[in-house]
Amino acid sequence: MLVAFSVAPSGAPDSDDSVHDAVAAAVRVVRESGLPNHTDSMFTTIEGDWDEVFAVVKRATEAVGTFGTRVSLVLKADIRPGHSGELTGKVERLERALDAQG
């Protein structure tokens, strides 16, 4: 499965509206998990089985929780049993389709 998620604190004590330190803590958890992952400006996507992916999301959410009194978590999952390598495979198929269309 692929899970794309975004997690951010609210109620943080600093007033600069930046959450980069909290997001960095979450991304560090994801990267240390060893699961295939990709981070862009809006989401981090990780690939693995249900239990391992959601365990990482939980730890990342807990890491962000130390930066505020509340945490907002948004996620989207692509659950496709029997498939792996989809973190890059989906993008590769898209690029081939774009090339074929000229």
- The letter for the amino acid at 77 is A
Q: What is the pLDDT of residue 22?
A: 94
Q: What is the pLDDT of residues 17-66, one digit of tens each?
A: 678 999 999 999 999 999 999 999 999 999 999 999 999 999 999 999 99
Global pTM reads 0.88
* Protein fold of 2-101: Alpha-Beta Plaits (3.30.70)
CB within 8 Å of 5: residues ≥ 6 apart: 43, 44, 45, 46, 57, 60, 73, 74, 75, 76
Phi-psi bin for 93: left (phi > 0), alpha (psi -120 to 50), beta?
alpha
Quote the mean pLDDT of the chain.
93
From CA 95, how far away is CA 46, in angstroms rounded? 20
Q: How is the chain split into domains, by residue range?
A: 2-101
